[in-house]
Amino acid sequence: MGGGNGQKSKMARERNMEKNKASKGSQLEANKKAMNIQVPAPFTPTQCHSLYIFFFYLQFTFLVDTIMIMISLRTLVLQIVTLIA
């Protein structure tokens, strides 16, 4: 069944010691390698933001077009009413 807390702690220390061993070679070479790492640019937030702006623009233009049609219909109805009267 496992062991006591002392045994678990000892096993964890041994695992951590293996992970934290000093790497062989010079640190300058490791730094040079680290300078050459290229991380891909995250395009997703920009694209999402652009899509949000685009859809907002579409909704705005649709709203403006709807208002213009309503005004045109109103003026048309007023002209018809004045012709009938």
Cβ atoms of 2 and 8 closer than 8 Å:
yes
Alpha carbon 73 to its chain centroid, in Å, reads 43
Give me the pLDDT at residue 41, please: 63
Kindly tell me if the per-residue pLDDT of 1 is higher than 60. Answer: no
Reported pTM: 0.33
Q: Which residues contact 23 (CB under 8 A, 6 or more apart)?
A: 30
Residue labelled with tokens 């790497």: 23
* pLDDT over 80 (residue 7): yes
The answer to whether 24 and 18 are in contact (CB under 8 A) is: no
Mean pLDDT along residues 14-29? 76
